[in-house]
Structure 1
């Protein structure tokens, strides 16, 4: 899988590599608002982070080849040698995080596109778990720091859902973890492990929505984070409504048609 993705990255960039992995895993992606993504110029895309393959779902939609992704240094991403030049890794120590922010801001100032997950940790998948609305309220102020360092960048919010299959979220195995975040991470590990061994054994349909891009520093006096949280909250509601998504407790019924 990694070798095929790397070969595609060399030909068609990170977006092509992302589409290759999604196809190998039999993961379908439907997106709204792709036509509003700027094709050039500094762009900061801020998304929720339900985990799984959310970054690949977003990357597969982007009509640009100058994309970099700010992400944690996890072993799965290191498997893709050709794609690593598109990644900005965030180390756990504070000095490393500050350096990653500088690299990110420099990429924006150079006119590039940057994808970040604002929470900094996994968040509830809006299609299988409650709590996505509340999680947006806890998004990191690092977004504001990057926009202040790259004031010409545009800001675009994305919402992703459907990356986790309900059977893994509901698995009795994940109950050994106490916190919802740890349970979700374990569900992600279980799902990804099965997908790596049996690539087409897990079929999920990922949904992505993009808000209209706005000038990051033009908020008419409103704080940047307030604008971000308000925009993300409104997009989430529109996302759920447009895709016909109803959020149930983990033990509850699945959405009709899934």
Structure 2
């Protein structure tokens, strides 16, 4: 007879229990109170910062700035201007935005560049010519005027020149001169000729226009001092 052997099942390992960290427990009441105080302080700082920003914004003033480049002598349009908010500083003297209507139509006395503030000295003092003055456009050929040196406001003399086939006589009368003031200097065309707008006395405007129509005039720049 075979001996029957009874098999005893192996003991089952008990599941491991996670260790409880030493010192773990509810957050101390003192730590909660400190965090509450810190939160209140952060809120107060935010409120004070916002108040200061609002107060500083109230001290700002709207002024005029240049929205796009404007050549010297060109009329200023509404599209050339924009507004900017600046601190009300007595050391700054830009034109206020409320004066925009009085600036439109005036001529720039110097090139205006995008992004810069507009000041009183950057445009002509009036929209119209002085009393007794008239505007005449004069086209001068290449080499007949110091174009690079001319700027709005310059005092010049406009002189009738001889034709290519005419001889200049030293014994003849001196060419007549017409006093004028530069208003705007155009860009050279393909042949190098430039149209210059000048302000002259009303008594000389017809004569100058007739001379300018011949294309035989020269511009002489007077001393700028």
Query: Normalising by structure 1, what TM-score?
Result: 0.22
**Larger-gyration structure (1/2):** 2
Higher strand share: 2
Higher relative contact order (CA 8 A, sep 6+): 1
Higher helix share: 1
Query: Normalising by structure 2, what TM-score?
Result: 0.24
